[in-house]
């Protein structure tokens, strides 16, 4: 019966041949075990042997199938033309690496206000309208730009009066939040914070540092789009060690963590391929000490006249996706 297995034309015939051989072996094993049918039918053994001989003579090729190849024919050509042999498992592996290019642009007061040309360039809005309103009430303005907006953005930045541009590159980790440090705030910072229910709360911070905590996600719908999630945070220097009582009753000294994460102001945005995220202050941060002030406004004393001057900052976050093919999964 081995000749039947080797003489095959297409994949379908192979399956049929293997199935026929397995059935034949099973049938033979049943005969050797003296099944009840054989005991009650003395001629059953002869009938079975005739059927097996007939199967070996005719083979298992379906009607209309091609004749079996001879020894001189190359059987590998059939496998090369088989459309089933090209599967998704044979595609080269692809590895995606996400980087963040962050540009901080400092300019004179009002350069990025409501009447700025910037908001005519980056017109994309946040998908959560309620989050956008809460951010605006606290002095944050967010927008999304596309790759086609970059040329107009460069022209806008070039026309600013005495701009200062600093660039940083971040290699994020998908398993945890990335901290984008914005630097030290004023030695003593008082801010007003509008909560999710609209209530106003005053808060004081001493020697605090401002940052954005960033998380990202790549979805299978479009691997060239990045979902960004940002949370503003202010952190004061840690306090002296303090004794605390654990749940098991033991006492332990721990350093006091003076960090306030404003989870109520967390927001997310989808950044298209080649796009960018824009963060800037509203003009209300100059009228009232809103929470957005320490994130965007830096005040300094003028050396000539002793007057205090303010510089406001614009943050441009550009996700970059780099693709590497042919990388082994274990690497």
Q: What is the mean pLDDT of residues 91-110?
A: 84
**Whole domain around residue 23: which residue ranges?**
2-87
**Residue predicted with more confidence, 175 or 84:** 175
258/148 same-domain check: yes
Question: Which pLDDT does position 276 carry in this prediction?
Answer: 96
191/114 same-domain check: yes
Q: Identify the bridge partners of residue 253 per DSSP, sorted by sequence position.
A: 243
What is the spatial distance between Cα 66 and Cα 8, in angstroms, rounded to a whole number? 9
**Residue predicted with more confidence, 107 or 78:** 107
Nearest alpha-carbon partner for 106 in 310, 259, 328? 310
- Quote the tokens at residue 194: 């509008």
80/126 same-domain check: no
- Quote the tokens at residue 207: 């020697």
238/259 same-domain check: yes
Question: Which pLDDT does position 122 carry in this prediction?
Answer: 95
pLDDT at 17 over 80: no
Domain boundary among 71, 87, 103: 87
202/316 same-domain check: yes
Note whether residue 189 is domain-resident.
Answer: yes
What is the spatial distance between Cα 261 and Cα 209, in angstroms, rounded to a whole number? 12
Note whether residue 330 is domain-resident.
Answer: no
17/138 same-domain check: no
Note whether residue 331 is domain-resident.
Answer: no
Phi, psi of 76 (to 5 degrees): -75, -20
Question: Which pLDDT does position 118 carry in this prediction?
Answer: 95
179/120 same-domain check: yes
pLDDT band at 243 (very low <50, low <70, confident <90, very high): confident
Count of the separate structural domains present in the chain: 2
174/142 same-domain check: yes
110/56 same-domain check: no
List, for residues 308-325, the tens digit of each pLDDT value. Answer: 678 999 999 999 888 777
What is the spatial distance between Cα 138 and Cα 92, in angstroms, rounded to a whole number? 48
168/258 same-domain check: yes
82/98 same-domain check: no
Note whether residue 306 is domain-resident.
Answer: yes
**Residue predicted with more confidence, 87 or 287:** 287
> Taking the CA of residue 295 as centre, how many other CA atoms within 13 Å lie in the half-sphere pointing to its CB?
25
Q: pTM for the complete prediction?
A: 0.67
What is the spatial distance between Cα 90 and Cα 115, in angstroms, rounded to a whole number? 55
Domain boundary among 33, 68, 87: 87
Note whether residue 100 is domain-resident.
Answer: yes
Nearest alpha-carbon partner for 297 in 316, 283, 278? 283
List, for residues 245-298, the tens digit of each pLDDT value. Answer: 888 888 888 888 888 999 999 999 999 999 999 999 999 999 999 999 999 998
Residue tagged 């979902």 (tokens): 227
Question: Which pLDDT does position 94 carry in this prediction?
Answer: 67
DSSP classification of residue 21: H
Question: Which pLDDT does position 323 carry in this prediction?
Answer: 75
Note whether residue 31 is domain-resident.
Answer: yes
Note whether residue 280 is domain-resident.
Answer: yes
What end-to-end distance do the CA atoms of the chain give, in Å? Answer: 46
Question: Which pLDDT does position 4 carry in this prediction?
Answer: 41
17/165 same-domain check: no
Note whether residue 112 is domain-resident.
Answer: yes
Domain boundary among 65, 87, 109: 87
């Amino acid at each position: 019966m081995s000749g039947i297995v080797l003489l095959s034309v297409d994949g379908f015939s192979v399956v049929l041949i293997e199935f026929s051989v397995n059935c034949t072996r099973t049938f033979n094993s049943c005969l050797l075990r003296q099944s009840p049918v054989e005991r009650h039918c003395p001629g059953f053994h002869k009938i079975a042997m005739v059927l097996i001989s007939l199967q070996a003579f005719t083979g298992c090729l379906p009607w209309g199938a091609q004749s079996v190849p001879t020894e001189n024919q190359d059987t590998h050509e059939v496998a090369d033309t088989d459309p089933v042999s090209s599967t998704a498992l044979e595609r080269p592996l692809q590895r995606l690496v996400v980087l963040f290019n962050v540009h901080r642009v400092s300019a004179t007061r009002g350069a990025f206000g409501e009447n700025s040309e910037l908001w005519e360039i980056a017109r994309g809005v946040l998908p959560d309208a309620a989050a956008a309103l809460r951010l605006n009430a606290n002095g944050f303005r967010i927008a999304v730009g596309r790759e086609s907006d970059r040329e107009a953005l460069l022209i806008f930045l070039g026309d600013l009066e005495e701009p200062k541009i600093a660039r940083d590159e971040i290699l994020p980790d998908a398993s945890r939040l990335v901290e984008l440090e914005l630097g030290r705030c004023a030695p003593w910072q008082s801010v007003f914070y509008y909560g999710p229910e609209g209530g106003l709360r005053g808060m004081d911070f001493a020697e605090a540092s401002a940052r954005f905590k960033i998380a990202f996600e790549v979805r299978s719908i479009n691997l060239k789009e990045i979902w960004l999630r940002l949370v503003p945070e202010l952190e004061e220097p840690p306090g002296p060690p303090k004794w605390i009582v654990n749940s098991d009753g033991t006492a332990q000294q721990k350093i006091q963590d003076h960090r306030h994460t404003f989870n109520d102001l967390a927001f997310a945005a989808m950044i298209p391929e080649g796009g960018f995220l824009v963060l800037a202050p509203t003009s209300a941060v100059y009228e009232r000490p809103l929470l957005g002030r320490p994130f965007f406004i830096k005040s300094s004393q003028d050396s000539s006249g002793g007057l205090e001057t303010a510089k406001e900052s614009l943050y441009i976050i550009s996700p970059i996706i780099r693709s590497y093919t042919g990388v082994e999964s274990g690497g």
